[in-house]
Amino acid sequence: MSLIVRLLRVNAMDAEHRENKICDECGSDYLTATPAMSRLCSECAHWLYGYLRCDHEFVQQRCSKCGWDGSVSAYIRGLQAQQAEQRQT
Ligand SMILES: [Zn+2]
Ligand SMILES: [Zn+2]
């Protein structure tokens, strides 16, 4: 790969990270931690599609790693309740 192509790719990634993204599911702002899931925060991508969950580190009510603010949609709350039930039985 030429150096110029590499530089262009890095610039494209920077632009992506600066963009203020809103999760389609829970409405939280987030950083693009999972590029494949460009419209979901890492938390929703985990619950909806089984992506590796972020090991959230909250700093001033936002995860410093993925940018998730702790919002959970009603639908995902339901999935969490289901999973909790399955663990008990
Ligand atoms: Zn979300
Ligand atoms: Zn996180």
Residues bordering ligand 1, an ion, CB closer than 5 Å? 23, 25-26, 41, 44
Rounded distance between C-alpha atoms, residue 28 and residue 16, angstroms: 17
Residue at 59: amino acid letter: V
Ligand nearest to the CA of 31: 2
Residue pair 21/48 in contact (Cβ under 8 Å)? The answer is no
8 CA → ligand 1 middle, Å: 29
pTM of the predicted protein model: 0.70
In the chain, where are the structural domains located? 20-88
Pairwise CA distance, residues 89 & 27, whole Å: 32
Predicted pLDDT of residue 69: 96
Element of type H or E holding 76: helix 74-88
Residues near 61 by Cβ (< 8 Å), separated by ≥ 6? 69, 70
Instruction: Give me ligand 1 centre to Cα 64, in Å.
Output: 15
Are the beta carbons of 80 and 40 closer than 8 angstroms? Answer: no
Report CA(41)–ligand 1 centroid distance (Å). Answer: 4
pLDDT, mean of each 10-residue run, the chain (89 residues): 60 54 93 70 92 93 93 97 88
What was the pLDDT predicted at 38?
A: 72
